């Protein structure tokens, strides 16, 4: 686990990181469906993309800011709910010819929504 953390830190050094959460909880990709494994990882907003590196199993997801079509919050994703009254960061984006959505539980949720929206505007 420590090796994976150091590996991710080194990868992110090549980007200008705007915001990050080292304990983001991944709720899955909509196109894969509800059977996928939820897991913790490092979510980072850079000046070009939203990057998620799951710790175990080691998985990567990079969403270019230009592909993001919607940033909002949701009480659940793929049938997986958050604590009552809590919400998830939900991102909808173009993935090839289809629309994809993904969600995470993050600290400082309002800051994430605002920062991603601002970064998208600056990137256009």
pTM of this structure: 0.92
Mean pLDDT by runs of 10 across the 124 residues of the chain is 87 94 97 90 97 95 97 94 88 96 98 97 81
2-123: what CATH class? mainly beta
For residue 73, give both structure tokens. 């919050």
SS3 category, 86? coil
CA distance 120 to 92: 13
Residue 108 DSSP symbol: S
What pLDDT shows up at residue 111? 98
- Encode 32-61: b = buried (16+ Cβ within 10 Å), e = exposed: eeeeeeebbbbbbbbeebbbbbbbeeeeeb
């Amino acid at each position: 686990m420590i090796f994976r953390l150091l590996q991710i830190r080194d990868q992110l050094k090549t980007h200008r990181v705007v915001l990050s959460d080292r304990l983001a909880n991944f709720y899955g990709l909509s196109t894969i469906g509800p059977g996928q494994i939820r897991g913790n990882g490092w979510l980072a907003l850079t000046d070009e993309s939203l990057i998620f590196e799951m710790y175990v199993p080691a998985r990567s997801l990079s969403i270019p800011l230009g592909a993001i079509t919607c940033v909002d919050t949701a009480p659940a994703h793929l049938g997986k709910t958050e604590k009552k009254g809590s919400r998830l960061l939900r991102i909808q984006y173009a993935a090839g010819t289809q629309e994809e959505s993904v969600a995470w539980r993050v600290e400082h949720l309002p800051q994430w929504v605002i920062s991603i929206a601002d970064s998208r505007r600056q990137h256009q």
